[in-house]
Structures are given as structure tokens and as C-alpha cells.
Amino acid sequence: DQQVKQNSPSLSVQEGRISILNCDYTNSMFDYFLWYKKYPAEGPTFLISISSIKDKNEDGRFTVFLNKSAKHLSLHIVPSQPGDSAVYFCAAKNQGGSEKLVFGKGTKLTVNP
Amino acid sequence: EAGVVQSPRYKIIEKKQPVAFWCNPISGHNTLYWYRQNLGQGPELLIRYENEEAVDDSQLPKDRFSAERLKGVDSTLKIQPAELGDSAVYLCASSLWLGTLNNEQFFGPGTRLTVL
């Protein structure tokens, strides 16, 4: 049973527009959420995170929104740039438990010039 | 600062052969993780070390997989014998655990294993 779900395998947007990547989770014990970005032949790199005590966290062009009641989070990239083209993984953990991150399957973002 | 180093980057073996992967974490990081990423999936934790101690190996298939982290620095992950279903990317990550709750995990580039 997948505890973290990214239902869109791919997303294509035009340069300069907004990219919205979605993530749903089922485990109510999760209280910390992260987004990782992965380029081909490289390991995932940390992008942005959010604690369950917040509903929004912003870092430059990247904003993560958390809706706890819906068990849903989203990553907004504005404006999107061609260099943002990568696979984006949503991950979650229980801060009071182990350091185990549970990842979604990823969404491949393509930003077209 | 050097990142997490893994070797080899690619490995092709025949089934039933043994294989080993090596990881050198970021200097000073006391926590080390091994993940497996199957094609089209996200990474899945296999084992987590705090210094030399394996504190979470619940997802490690212990009949054929083994890992060690001697002296709390470098780590090796071994599969013996390998099966076709072991084809995946094996990722190593490290972090500095200071008792705070949200320490970032830094990933290496991974080893892509193909079992024929």
C-alpha cells in the first residue's frame, strides 16, 4: 500500500508559467514533508520542506502548500525555467518516529523554452 | 565540500553472482542510509546506520543482503546471490544527526545494478 502518492507521472509546462506538482498521503502519522529534485544519473537533492504545523513554506521560486485535512500537498514553481526539468519526489516522515523517509513515485517535469 | 561518493556507478552481473557497493558519506555525517530505487518508483529505505549501529534494517532482505559500516564512516552493501529482481539503483545518503528533528539527507549518485 503506497503511503505517499504522486498520481501524475509527468507534467509539461511552458517557460515562465507556473508548475504545480501534487502529492497525497494516507498515513496520518506523517508530520514532515519534503520535496526532492532528481536529474538523470544523479541522486535526489533536497528542495524544500514543510512541517505539519504550517500550511505554506516559500523559498524563492518554490512554494509548498500543505492541506492536512485533505492529506494533500503541492509544490508550486513560479516562474518555471528549463533548468527545472527533472523528476520531483514527494517524501514524508513521522518526526516522532524514525528518520525513515517514505517517497512517492515521482513526477517528471518538463519545462519547454 | 565533497558530497556522498558511491562506487561503482554501474554494475552488470549474471544472476547468482555476488555484488558489493561502496559508499563514502559526507565528512562528519554520523547517519548513513542505503535506499533501493526500482524503475519508475521512489527510493525505498533498506537500512539506516547511526555511527556503526544499524538502527533500522527492517526492509533489508536479510537472506541475501548484508551491510556493514566499519568505524562509523564508509559502508558497503552486499548482495549474495543476486537475483533478476535486484536490478535497481542503489542510493546511499548521509546526514548529521544532532538530536534535532529535521536533518537533511544528502544523496549520492547511486549505483545502477543490472542482473542478467
Cell reading at A61? 521560486
Tell me if B109 and A104 make a contact (CB, 8 A cut-off).
no
The conformation of residue A63, written as its DSSP 8-state character, comes to E
Cell reading at A102? 517514505
Beta bridge partners of A33: A50, A92
Band the pLDDT of A113: cuts 50, 70, 90: very high
Tell me if A32 and B104 make a contact (CB, 8 A cut-off).
no
Listed as ranges, residues in chain B with pLDDT below 70 are 1, 99-102
Which amino acid is residue A2, in one-letter code? Q
The conformation of residue B20, written as its DSSP 8-state character, comes to E
Neighbour count for residue A19 (Cβ, 10 Å)? 24
Tell me if A91 and B93 make a contact (CB, 8 A cut-off).
no
Cell reading at A50? 514543510
Chain B nearest CA to A44, separation (Å):
6
**A–B interface: beta-carbon pairs under 8 A:** 55
Per-residue pLDDT of A29-82, as tens digits, reads 999 999 999 999 899 999 999 999 999 999 999 999 999 999 999 999 999 999
Contacts of B106 in chain A (CB under 8 A): 45-46
- Specify the pLDDT at position B96: 87
